[in-house]
Each structure stands twice: as structure tokens, then as C-alpha cells.
Amino acid sequence: MSEFVKVGSIHDISPGQPLIHDFDYNTVVIFQVGDAYYCLEDECTHQEVPISDGTVTDCRVECPMHGSWFDLKTGKALNLPATKAVQTYAVKIIDEDVFVQEPDDW
């Protein structure tokens, strides 16, 4: 079973300022929308562009390169040119610390 790994504090994140965290094999980004936090792999599935540089609106993030939108809850690509979902990871807040579930295959 995957473990939750502490990646920072809720004070490191705000609606306009996502938190980026480097794991051994990839980089993830945690976005805040209202009181909710969403973690996705920080890479567009169209090309290797960080989605952390994108604009967040209505629980979606827009890739800054070609404008594909991704659902922050599911990672689903909502329009072309991206067609594949971005990997999402479970987020847990304990007190004021942010934890992300490390996938089994890392």
C-alpha cells in the first residue's frame, strides 16, 4: 500500500500559488481551489510542459503552451491538443501539513 508523504504546509500554497514537489521519478504540483487541494503530475500529456505554470479556473488548469485544459479532480484532458489525462494523486491535510500519496510503481 502506498504511503502518504509530507510535501509541505498549507501555508506554502494559495489559490494563485501552487506548490511544486520533486519526487525521485517525477514532479507533482498541488493546487488549491477554495478549501480543496488537488495533486497532479506537473507535466502536460501533450508535450513536456509544466502545468504548474498554467492558469486555474473553475477547478481546471490550462496548459500554458497550447491551451489544453485539465480537470484538477480527475486529470482528464478537456480539449485538444492533449488527449490523455494527467496522473492525479490523493492529497491529505493533517493539521497544516500537506501529504501526497506516493504511487505503488515509483
Per CB under 6 A, residues contacting ligand FES are 44, 46-47, 49, 63, 65-66, 68, 81-82
Q: Write down the least CB distance from residue 46 to ligand FES, Å.
A: 3
Tell me whether residue 36 or residue 80 sits nearer to ligand FES (CB atom): 80
Task: Say if residues 63 and 49 touch (Cβ distance below 8 Å).
Answer: yes
Instruction: Check residue 14 and report its DSSP letter.
Output: B
List Cβ neighbours of 24 (8 Å cut-off, separation of 6 or more): 106
Q: Write down the least CB distance from residue 85 to ligand FES, Å.
A: 13
